[in-house]
Structure 1
Amino acid sequence: MAIHHVLTVCLGNICRSPMAQGLMAAALPDCEVSSAGLGAMVGHPADPLACELMQERGVSIDEHRARQISLDLCQRADLILVMDTEQRRAVEQRYPFTNGKVFRLCEHNKRDVPDPYQAGRSAFLTSLALIEDGATQWVHRISRVSSQ
């Protein structure tokens, strides 16, 4: 099954999921990658620290605006990547049909990505390192599946 649309999800949709979206969209140009939040700060831009760290990696998320997860977004997504186990439960509970297509971004190493919101640069760097690792793993998987 080819993966054409990936949805990254976190809580506020201003830190973790926009960074994951930016990295994955850059690595998967033939795939639509979007993001949303379970308790989104709707309309807010990505956190300034998230923007700065992504810019250092050559990826701009400056145009990002937070949005709430929705039925439509979940229906369109072939794969939904969340940041922690609780978010996975929340998505599957709210949208039962997503069961089987919701995974943690760092599922491969059984890690949650901690929320760096208002916790400073070191917290952002810690979270981003996990996001980069998880995104890389999923990009490899998606590329393998889509090329078959």
Structure 2
Amino acid sequence: MAEGLLRQAMNDAGKVDRFVGSAGLNALVGHQADPSACQLMASRQIDISAHRACQINSVMIRAADLVLVMESAHKIAIEGKEPSARGKVFRLGEWGKFNIPDPYQQDLAAFEYSLMLIERGVSDWVVRL
């Protein structure tokens, strides 16, 4: 959801030259986005049905100018995995000082709550990028 929203927000802001991708620390590699996530994003006219999960790796981290994560623990894990990440890993909710819970295997309400926080975080970041 975050990738789709951030990509759309960057495009809407005219920042189309930026690459936006998604990778997880414990991703189920090759799996599609959860049907609840697809449903919520489709209601915002963003199609994430082609998304396939992948694991973040050191090559991705080194290539990135900015790595946005959902939770403080993710930041710690990425910086531990790749020390060169220090200084470029931030929470999506950094400016609002909040973590975004993973709604995986939860009900639609959990996805709606996470999406609300993602939207807030994306809005905060887009004006700064």
Unaligned runs of 5+ in 2: 11-15
- The yes-or-no answer on 1:109 pairing with 2:91 is no
What is the CA–CA distance in structure 2 between the aligned matches of 1:141 and 1:35, rounded to whole Å?
A: 20
- The yes-or-no answer on 1:88 pairing with 2:75 is yes
**Counterpart residue number, 2:2:** 20
**Counterpart residue number, 2:85:** 98
**Counterpart residue number, 2:17:** 30
- SS of residue in 2 equivalent to 1:68: coil
Q: How does 1:1-148 map to 2 (within 5 A)?
A: 19-28=1-10, 29-142=16-129
What is the CA–CA distance in structure 1 between the aligned matches of 2:83 and 2:121, rounded to whole Å?
A: 24
The Cα shift of 1:90 comes to 0.2
TM-score normalized with structure 1 length? 0.82
Q: Which amino acid aligns with 1:41?
A: L
Unaligned runs of 5+ in 1: 1-18, 143-148
Higher strand proportion, which one? 1
Q: Which runs of 4+ in 1 moved over 6 A?
A: none
TM-score normalized with structure 2 length? 0.94
CA-atom RMSD in angstroms:
0.7
Give a deviation string over 1:87-133, Cα, whole Å, max 9, x none: 11000000110000000000111111011111101111100000000
Aligned residues: 124
What is the CA–CA distance in structure 1 between the aligned matches of 2:70 and 2:41, rounded to whole Å?
A: 18
